[in-house]
Amino acid sequence: MTLKMGVVGTGAIGREHIERITKRISGAEIVALSDIHQENAEQIIRDFKLDAQFFATDAELIAADVDAVIVSSWGPAHEETVLKAIEAGKYVFCEKPLATTAEGCKRIIDAEMKQGKRLLQVGFMRRYDAGYQMLKQALDAKEIGEPLMLSCQHFNPQVDENYTTDMAVVDTLIHEIDVLHWLVDDDYESIQVFYPKQTKNKLSHLKDPQIVHLVTKSGISIHAEIFVNCGYAYDIQCRVVGEDGILSLPEVSSLGIRKDAKRSENLLMDWKKRFMDAYDNEFNAFINAIEKTGSPSYPTAWDGYVAAVTADAGVKAQQSGEVEKIDLPETPDFYRI
């Protein structure tokens, strides 16, 4: 069975997903595209020699002969397209954010539950990174007993002037928010943000670095450093202290070099290279889970909602300097997979 997919939004990330599905992944084909810039979509059809049709609107694309819709348009447009696709009973792969507000995410959850089966997968790719998967597997196997304290680092070499203080939470930390509660199989309880000494290598409107302190319902403490002008590398780290030891994400694979009075290994400067395989894996999981179970894989719409509610509390915490509660109901059974 080959899954027929339509893509709504053919900008940079949409294009990458199209290339992924066309060139590197089996089991799906791109049959429909929609974009506000028609010429953009048509260029992609030519570039990848797609046997695909252009639609002027998301509604028309959803109504066409497609099994699944990839939503990779501008963030604020996600919710509406997702809702239309769900109502039409189509599978959805939605790039983050699921919606720009927690309420929007909630509306999607309600629509999906009304359909009676899970149709949607959110594009938080870290869960499909080989390193995080090893970490998850080792934690689940209780290799270090119960996890007690996590420390993470999300460092970017540099950001441009459009990057604002709140984006440290809603764009950057959002990946840790999604992956960490999955990793320790726990829900968040509270969040606090500290501003340590600031780097000289930043624009004046921005707070950088920032330290985020998350606490889970069972009391696990998460210390996350967000530093988006660190200069030296795109460097993602995650370390879990458990009752019997410590586990850390693998370093990025690199040659051993002994040269110039140093032994060294190269780090990445470009974030795109870090999770390239994870992007492939999340689509493989989407396609295979639909084939096997009739529903896509995780992260679910509920995970998208958790991320939105936590990020909202995080932005509030950035402003208040206080410990902010994260109010989340229990995960519905519908979303337990």
State which of positions 178-237 bind its own copies (CB under 8 A): 194-201, 209, 211, 213, 215-216, 218-221, 223, 225, 227, 230-233, 235
Question: Under a CB-based contact definition with an 8 Å cutoff, are residues 83 and 107 in contact?
Answer: yes
Nearer to its own copies, 22 or 53 (CB): 22
| Least Cβ distance, residue 238 to its own copies (angstroms) | 10
Distance CA 34, CA 9 (A): 6
**Which two tokens mark 197?**
């000494």
Distance CA 117, CA 130 (A): 28
**Is 257 a residue that touches its own copies (CB under 8 A)?**
yes
Sheet of 210-216, strand order: 235-242, 147-155, 221-227, 210-216, 188-194, 324-325
| Least Cβ distance, residue 257 to its own copies (angstroms) | 6
Rg (CA), the chain: 20
**Is 147 a residue that touches its own copies (CB under 8 A)?**
yes
Q: With 0-12 CB in 10 A as exposed, 13-18 as middle and 19+ as buried, what is 241?
A: middle
**Is 320 a residue that touches its own copies (CB under 8 A)?**
no
Select the residue interacting with its own copies from 134, 142, 203, 294 (CB under 8 A): 134
| Least Cβ distance, residue 234 to its own copies (angstroms) | 9
Stretch that binds its own copies, among 6-14, 32-40, 50-58, 260-268 (CB under 8 A): 260-268
| Least Cβ distance, residue 128 to its own copies (angstroms) | 14
Select the residue interacting with its own copies from 57, 115, 248, 319 (CB under 8 A): 248
Distance CA 68, CA 289 (A): 13
Q: Which amino acid is at 17?
A: H
Stretch that binds its own copies, among 88-96, 100-108, 169-177, 253-261 (CB under 8 A): 253-261
| Least Cβ distance, residue 224 to its own copies (angstroms) | 10
